[in-house]
């Protein structure tokens, strides 16, 4: 059954017609870098796996499993829809490496969406969103989970 006009609220229709007067511009995301990882007492030498929505788990895990044999710590990071993929990768690694220690931190990244008006009388819009981001540290060494950054 199709979605007819009876299901839409007047607010939805008003918002719909307002948005059609704008075209989507660029997105500016707050960058992820090693210094922005909110994990206290982060080891100086670690593998950093940045998971995106298009990342293939097989490729991520293949690289991470080989590298984790030699290194002592790995950090998995994912934002938005990639959070679930990052968590799945961590859980698979924990099954393979039984003696691992884990520390998880959740934070938010700022994303600015720019909307350009299609009518002269309208102003450009900037929509600021807070995107959830997860950072998971897996370590072969015991971690101090009581300290906060």
- 13 belongs to a structural domain: no
The Cα–Cα gap between 123 and 86 comes to 39
| Each residue's pLDDT tens digit, 12-41 | 544 654 677 888 899 999 988 888 899 988
Domain total in the chain: 1
- 6 belongs to a structural domain: no
The Cα–Cα gap between 125 and 59 comes to 38
The Cα–Cα gap between 62 and 119 comes to 51
Domain that holds residue 37: 21-139
| Each residue's pLDDT tens digit, 89-135 | 999 999 999 999 999 999 999 999 888 989 888 888 888 889 999 99
- 118 belongs to a structural domain: yes
* Residue ranges of E strands in the chain: 22-29, 47-51, 73-79, 101-117, 125-139
The Cα–Cα gap between 106 and 29 comes to 17
**Residues 6 or more apart whose Cβ sits within 8 Å of residue 9:** none
CA dihedral 140, 88, 82, 74 (to 10 degrees): 10
Residue 51 CB burial class (10 angstroms; 0-12, 13-18, ≥19): buried
The domain spanning residue 62 has which CATH number?
Answer: 3.30.110.20
């Amino acid at each position: 059954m199709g979605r007819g006009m009876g299901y839409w609220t007047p607010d939805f229709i008003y918002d719909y017609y307002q948005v059609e007067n704008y075209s989507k511009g660029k997105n500016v995301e707050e960058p992820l870098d090693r210094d922005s990882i909110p994990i206290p007492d982060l080891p100086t030498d670690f593998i950093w796996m940045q998971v995106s929505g298009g990342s293939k788990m097989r490729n991520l895990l293949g690289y991470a499993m080989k590298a984790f044999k030699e290194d002592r710590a790995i950090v998995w990071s994912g934002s938005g829809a990639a959070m679930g993929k990052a968590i799945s990768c961590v859980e698979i690694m924990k099954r393979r490496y039984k003696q691992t220690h884990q520390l998880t931190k959740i934070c938010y990244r700022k994303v600015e969406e720019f909307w350009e008006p299609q009518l002269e009388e309208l102003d450009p819009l900037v929509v600021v969103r807070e995107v959830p981001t997860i950072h998971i540290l897996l370590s072969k060494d015991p971690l101090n989970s009581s300290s906060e950054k």
